[in-house]
């Protein structure tokens, strides 16, 4: 993963994430906002034990109807 000319997302801002922030406002470190077990969600895919979820901070997509806005775009997490 090249952090000098970041093209990880479709915005392809080419920012050097070691020195400054791009469209996503993320640094060169991964930030995880939430890790949890999602039981009973889409049982046809996850079976009887459920599925795990990992929500990353700093999404650059800015979807207008994002249900995870606080954790995906406001930089919540560690």
Would the pTM of this model clear 0.85, i.e. be above it?
no
Which pLDDT score is estimated for 9?
82
- Percent of the chain scored above 70 by pLDDT? 97
- Dihedral over Cα of 15, 16, 21, 24: its sign: positive
Q: What is the mean pLDDT of the chain?
A: 83
Euclidean distance between CA atoms 40 and 30, whole angstroms: 28
Cβ atoms 37, 52 nearer than 8 A? yes
Q: What is the CA radius of gyration of the chain?
A: 15
Which pLDDT score is estimated for 22?
84
For residues 6-25, average pLDDT: 87
């Amino acid at each position: 993963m090249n952090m000098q000319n970041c093209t990880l997302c479709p915005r392809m801002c080419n920012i050097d994430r070691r020195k400054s922030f791009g469209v996503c406002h993320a640094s060169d470190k991964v930030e995880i906002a939430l890790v949890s077990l999602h039981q009973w969600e889409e049982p046809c895919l996850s079976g009887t034990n459920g599925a795990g979820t990992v929500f990353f901070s700093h999404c650059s997509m800015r979807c207008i109807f994002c249900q995870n806005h606080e954790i995906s775009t406001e930089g919540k997490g560690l």
